[in-house]
Each structure stands twice: as C-alpha cells, then as structure tokens.
Amino acid sequence: MGLLERGLKVGIHRHSLNAAGRFASAAGAATFVPAGIPKQTVGGAYNTGVIGKTYTTLLGGRELTLETGKLAKLVSGSVTLRYGDTLLLVTAQARDDLSTLDFLPLTVEFEERHYAVGKIPGSFPRREGRPGEKAILSARITDRQIRPLFPKGYRQETQVIITVLSADGQNLPDVLGPIGASAALSISDIPWGGPTACVRVGMVGGEYVVNPTVDQQALSELDLVVAGTRDAILMVEAGAKGASEDLLVGAIEFAHAQMQPIIDLIEQMRAELGHEKFTFIEPASAVSVDVVPELADAARAAGLKDALLTPGKKDRGARLKALRDGLIAGRVNPEDADAAAQITHYKNAFNKVEKAELRRLILDDDLRADGRNTRTVRPIWIEARALPRAHGSAIFTRGETQVLGVATLGTERDAVLIDDLTAETEDKFMLHYNFPPYSTGEVKRVGGQSRREIGHGNLAKRAIRAVLPSFESFPYTIRLVGEVLESNGSSSMATVCAGTLALMDAGVPITAPVAGVAMGLVMEDGRYRILTDILGLEDALGDMDFKVCGTAQGVTALQMDIKIAGITPAIMREALSQARDARMHILSKMAEVLPAPRSELAPTAPRIVTMKINAELIGKVIGPGGKQIRELEALGASINIDEDGTIRIFSASGANADAVRARIESLTREAKVGEEFEGTVVKTTPFGAFINLFAGQDGMLHISQMSEQRIQTVEEAMNVGDKLRVKIAGVDDRGKIDLIRPELEGKIAPREPRAPREGGDRGGRPPRR
C-alpha cells in the first residue's frame, strides 16, 4: 500500500511567478514528512517526501481522478489522470521567447509506452519509435479541442505531451488525454481559455452510454467523441452504422451534459492551485485596428467585390493579389527602413478586409466567391475505371477539388499488423490519403504522411468501413488510396466519393454507396448562414467545418470543428439536414456512373477461392515438411489454411485457383459407403485386388467378391490395369476400404467385415486416419 492510500497528510506543490513573469516551483505550506523517509537535500532545498493533491468525480459510473504536484513538477502544468487502470501523465509547457512564426506554434504529442500493457515493443531495437496512426489520431483529438481557446496573437511555442503510463485495455486513453491536457493548461501559467472536457458516447441496447468500455463499444452502433467548454461544443468526431441525424444530435447533447462534472473538477483545481497566467506580446505584424477601416474603404472602391467573385481559384487569387499590392504600393515607401514590416502589416490588414467582405456577401446577399448560393453543390463529373491495370479506380471531381480513388485487392497475408497498446490485431481494410503539393499549385518538400493526411484518411476510412462486406463473404484485404489531384476545399469528402466508386468499380459488394460533403457556417450578431460544399477560403473565413458522410439511409461518419461559441442544437440539426440534401444530390450523380458494384471482379483482380476440408486432413494438404503445399503453390497460387479446415486459394488467374482447388479436393476426398467409382486395378494378391478410386485412395476387392463362380486366382477375373465399376461396401476403423462389384450385389454372399485392429476399440493406440 502506498503512502497516499495510507491516508497520510500530504502537501500541495505550488508554483510562484518569478521576476520575469514566468513560474518558479516551490513547495507549498503544510507539508508533511512521513516517518521513516529521510529528508534529502536537492539543489539546496529539502525533498519533503510525497506531495500532491487529488480531485475525483464519477464518469459513466467509474471514478475519474486527477492528481497534480506529484510527478513532473518542473513543468508549467502537470497532471496525472486515472480512469480504471488506465493512467496518463499530461504536461503543458510554453517557451519564454516569442516565436517568429505567423501562426500558433502548438504541438501535441501522444506517447504510447508498451510497458503500459506489459509488452516489449516488436521493433528491431525493441523500443518505441515514431508514433503510430492511433497515437497520431489521439493527439489530433486533443489538439482540435485546445487549439481554438488560445488567445489571438499568442505566439509562444507551446507543447502538450500525453504519456500513457498504464492501459487496462477497457478504458481507452484517446478521450482521456484531452481531459488531462485541459487540466494541465488550466493550472499552468499559459494563457488559455479553458477548461474543456471530452467524452465518448456509444449506443448499446438503444441507450446512450458515456465512455463505453472496449467490450461495450464492440456492441455499439455508434462511436462518437465530443469535446466542449461549459457552454459550447468545440469538436465532434463520429463513426456510425447509418445513424439518423436526430440520433446524432441527441448524442451530442447527452455528451455535453456528461462533461459538466469534469469541467467543475478542473475549475476547482484551477481555483485552488492555478498559477497566474503570464502576459504575452503580440507580434509586430499584428494588425492595428485603425488601419482596417481605411483600407476596407479603399479596397471596395478599387473593386474588391468583383475581384472576390472572379471565377476560378487561380484567377481569383491573381486579381486579389494585384489589388492588394496596388493598395500597399500607394501606402508604403520602399525606401523606408521599416518598409518590409509595413508591407507585412498591410497584408495582414488586407486579409482581414477580404475575410470581412466575403462574410458580408454571404450574410447579406447569399452570394459566395464562386457565384453559388449557400445550398448549391459545385458541378460534379465522374469517370470510372480510369486506370487500365488497377483492380478498381475512379476520378471524382467536384468544382476545383479532384481525387483519384484506387482500390487494390489482396489476401489476408496483406493485412496490416496493428501493434499499439491494444491487443495485437490485423486490419484487412486500409485507406491512405495522399495530399501532394501540386494539388494546391504549391512547391513543398515531399516526405512521409503528415498528421493532416492521416486524420483525413481516417475520416474517410470510418465512412466507408461501415458498408464493407464481411471477410467471410468477401475474403479479400482491401487497400484504398485517395490521390488528391486538385484541392479547393473538402478533399477528404471527395476521397470518400472516389473511394466508394473505386470499390464499386472493383466489384466489391458494398452494402450501399457512401458520399461525403463539407459544410460551413458564417455567424454574426445572431444572423447565420450554413454553407454547403465549402471552398478552401470558406473553411478559413468561416466559423465551422462540418464534414458529414453517409448513405441514403443515414450517417456513417462525422467530423465537426467549431471556431466560435454558441452553436445551438437547432443550428446543428439544420446543418445536418442541409448536408443530407447535398449528400443525396451527390449520391444521385454517382449512381449515374455506377448504380451498383460491378457483378464481376476486374480482369486484373486476383481470385480467391474458399473451400472447407476436414481439419484432420490438413496434414495431407501440407505434406511432409511442407512438400505438398509447395507443389500446390507452384501451380500459381498462394494458399492459406485455418485451423478449422478453411482453405483460401489466392491467384492472379481464376484457372490456376480452380486447378489448385481440384488438387486439394482430390487430396482430401473421403470415401463414403455406397459411393461408386470407375476404378483401376493397381495391384493383385492371392486374396484380392487393390483398386485405385481417386488420387491417394485405394480400396480392396476381395477374391470372393469378384465373380458369381468360385475362382482360384484373382487373374482369372482381372489383371493390373483393368478398369471396372466398384462400390464401397464398408470402411473399417483404420480407414481401410472394402469394395464390391455393384452388378454382383445380392447375387453373392457379402464378405464378413474385418475385425477391429487390436487395441483400436479397447483404449489402446487410436486407429490411423
């Protein structure tokens, strides 16, 4: 039993601000040194033993405990969070100096430690390496929750690190990390507008369940993650099996109610232990308020509205740049010493003017930059079977966003191994989203997948997974790739459409087509408009990014990021309804090209033949030392055998797969009493002849069963090589087969059955098969 469990009084670790306005740590008052633990001098101070303070609430009927002041005490904000036997350490730290970047330099790291589940990493050096996909997605959940609440103009490099110290396999750490981050930031000296909270909602037995365990989630029709503040929702991410819009809104409202005790707990921590927030200086390039109105008037007079309504992303950008540069040239003397700073200053001001004018056009005139109103989907064109050798492919273009979807089919040997803190599993469905720089007309370094690519790919994957056939009915590993060729908003949703079409082109029997659309919001002074199928600039200027994917029956995936407070359930319902209208329009366009999956696999697609044999005969297929299965695979196929006798034959050629199947059927065929065969005499003996029935199986025709007349030798009735019709009369305990001639059945006395092998029926050595 630890010191805390013994009920010992402990001190509270506090921080105090130093002269520079940053924190310095010191032990708080009322500390207690437990008996038997000597004081230790560290840096001229006394280590007074165990310190810390815990805060506990109930969530989903289980205790959620936050503790601070015990671990990682040199950092600005540090907490441990325990839920069941899942334990996280979360830290938050900011640099003293101002970053030169023109955006918030926030990083969130989600560190999985294999010791948390009692495992040694499977990598060659046997230590953790780069974060896996699950860790990156978990970090993104936290990032999307906390990022909107940093003050505008804040440019101190800030880092939040979530380390999984223990994982019980039932209480997942991905939704606990955001709670720990909220607590760490709230008690730190970092300026931040929280607290926030995050919960998962499932639906089991028709009831919403908060933070379902892994076992409960396996039974759930819904996987919804929601983050928010006291009064508003900040982030939503969901996967579902065709959920209705009303069900989703109800789940979000339920989640927000479940967050309130967590927010209460963090506010209590902040009130009791929180540090004074340090002040920060906005970068010199921040826009002076007095510049914007004058520049806005000049821009409107110079034709800002016409420039914003220029068709085409590139042409619009060129006109806006020319307008901006002209306005700046009349206001900045290039000979001035601070000319560069002035230019940056006016560029930032012009961006504000441009954003404000676009928002005004949307709110006042229901007019968007490409000339659409707020409910119209951009023009769509689709081409299926775009690549000659791919198993399935399609190009989906919506406005200036274009994605090439490519489907590849493989065997279960191609499944990806999941080696994280969950049980080691294989995933037989992969979706990879690629966003090359040329898709936006830019030049950038090309490297590995970014976190954004992983996040967008995961959203599309969740949307499509809901309609995939079971592996038992369609035993292929499936890889989908979304190659973004052009991007002007909503490329992840175009990936959902292109990926669905590629699967249908490949002949994958999905249960229903899936389409996706990105929705936006512009809201000011109580007025708002919801935008269908947003452009890239509308994502930047808007107040919401709301991606909805689904079939004609319901929603399969959803992702929402809110940039303002005050999104009501009524607005969410309206956005979901408008998204459904858009989704149905897109699905109709897809159906014009591919109304259903193709009835046959593409000629280039591999064939998988599934068969079942007696599990006791697996050895005959493998052969001594694997000799037989090597011979079978030499026919042009790969073979996978399950312990229950299920065999999957994978080949690029349907003919090769059928040939291997025929060989296996021959090898594993079992003789049954009453079956008749056209057999060949392969050996004669004084007592009878051995007749080959099929490959690897002979039967014995006794001399007494060869003729109606008594014969002295077998050769009087038959010789080696003769063919004759025989029937199986019996199979003994050793698998030995007795034959008769069907035309003589009933005309001669049947032979007495063979005696059982000694010991075979008496508990001795079992009979051979």
User: Per DSSP, what are the bridge partners of residue 745?
Assistant: 748
CA distance 109 to 569: 32
> Binning pLDDT at 50, 70 and 90, where does residue 447 land?
confident
pLDDT number for residue 424? 67
- Average pLDDT value for residue range 225-238: 92
What's the CATH fold of domain 607-668?
A: Ribosomal Protein S8; Chain: A, domain 1 (3.30.1370)
Residues present in the chain in total = 769
- Per-residue pLDDT reduced to its tens digit, 339-389: 888 888 888 889 889 999 999 999 999 999 999 999 999 999 999 999 999
- Work out the mean pLDDT of the chain and round it to a whole number: 85
End-to-end Cα spacing for the chain: 59
- Average pLDDT value for residue range 663-691: 87
Contact in structure between 544 and 561 (CB atoms under 8 Å): yes
User: Per DSSP, what are the bridge partners of residue 208?
Assistant: 203
What's the CATH fold of domain 52-273?
A: Ribosomal Protein S5; domain 2 (3.30.230)
> Binning pLDDT at 50, 70 and 90, where does residue 716 land?
confident
- Per-residue pLDDT reduced to its tens digit, 558-603: 999 888 776 788 888 999 999 999 999 999 999 999 999 999 988 8
pLDDT number for residue 744? 86
> Binning pLDDT at 50, 70 and 90, where does residue 255 land?
very high
- Nearest by Cα to 559 from 431, 451, 491, 460: 460
CA distance 551 to 243: 10
- Average pLDDT value for residue range 445-461: 88
Which positions ≥6 away from 509 have C-beta within 8 Å?
A: 469, 473, 474, 597
> Binning pLDDT at 50, 70 and 90, where does residue 637 land?
confident
Q: What are phi and psi of 493, to 5 degrees?
A: -70, -35
- Asked whether the predicted pLDDT for residue 38 surpasses 90, the reply is no
What's the CATH fold of domain 380-593?
A: Ribosomal Protein S5; domain 2 (3.30.230)
Task: Quote the pTM value.
Answer: 0.79
pLDDT number for residue 5? 33
Q: Which class for 208: exposed (0-12), middle (13-18), buried (19 or more C-beta within 10 A)?
A: buried
pLDDT number for residue 446? 85
Q: Do domains 380-593 and 607-668 have the same CATH topology?
A: no
pLDDT number for residue 56? 96
pLDDT number for residue 24? 33
CA distance 501 to 285: 47
| 636 dihedral zone (left: phi>0; alpha: psi -120 to 50; beta) | left
Q: What are the DSSP calls for 192-245, one per residue? A: -----EEEEEEEETTEEEES--HHHHTT-SEEEEEEE-SS-EEEEEEEEEEE-H
- Per-residue pLDDT reduced to its tens digit, 79-118: 999 999 999 999 999 998 887 777 889 999 999 998 998 8
pLDDT number for residue 759? 42
CA distance 744 to 749: 10
> Binning pLDDT at 50, 70 and 90, where does residue 288 land?
low
> Binning pLDDT at 50, 70 and 90, where does residue 240 land?
very high
Please indicate whether residue 523 or residue 694 has the higher confidence score (pLDDT): 523
Which of 9-18, 144-153, 671-680 shows the lowest mean pLDDT across its residues? 9-18
Annotated ligand binding at 143? The verdict is: no
CATH class of 671-769: mainly beta
Q: Are strands 477-486 and 429-434 parallel, antiparallel or unpaired?
A: parallel
Six-digit token pair at 609? 């033949």
Show me where the domains of the chain are located: 1-51, 52-273, 291-365, 380-593, 607-668, 671-769
- Asked whether the predicted pLDDT for residue 464 surpasses 90, the reply is yes
- Nearest by Cα to 489 from 555, 437, 545: 545
Q: Are strands 723-731 and 688-694 parallel, antiparallel or unpaired?
A: unpaired
pLDDT number for residue 289? 58
- Average pLDDT value for residue range 272-293: 76
- Average pLDDT value for residue range 502-515: 96
pLDDT number for residue 562? 84
Annotated ligand binding at 658? The verdict is: no
pLDDT number for residue 6? 30
Please indicate whether residue 764 or residue 579 has the higher confidence score (pLDDT): 579
- Asked whether the predicted pLDDT for residue 769 surpasses 50, the reply is no
Q: What are phi and psi of 175, to 5 degrees?
A: -90, -5
- Average pLDDT value for residue range 227-240: 92
> Binning pLDDT at 50, 70 and 90, where does residue 284 land?
low
pLDDT number for residue 591? 96
Give the type of residue at 721. G
Which of 49-58, 133-142, 379-388 shows the lowest mean pLDDT across its residues? 49-58
Give the type of residue at 201. V
Identify which of 260-269, 553-562, 681-690 has the greatest average pLDDT. 260-269
Judge if the upstream peptide bond of residue 195 is cis by omega within 30 degrees of 0: yes
- Asked whether the predicted pLDDT for residue 48 surpasses 70, the reply is no
> Binning pLDDT at 50, 70 and 90, where does residue 283 land?
low
- Per-residue pLDDT reduced to its tens digit, 730-756: 888 777 888 999 888 878 877 766 554
- Asked whether the predicted pLDDT for residue 675 surpasses 90, the reply is no
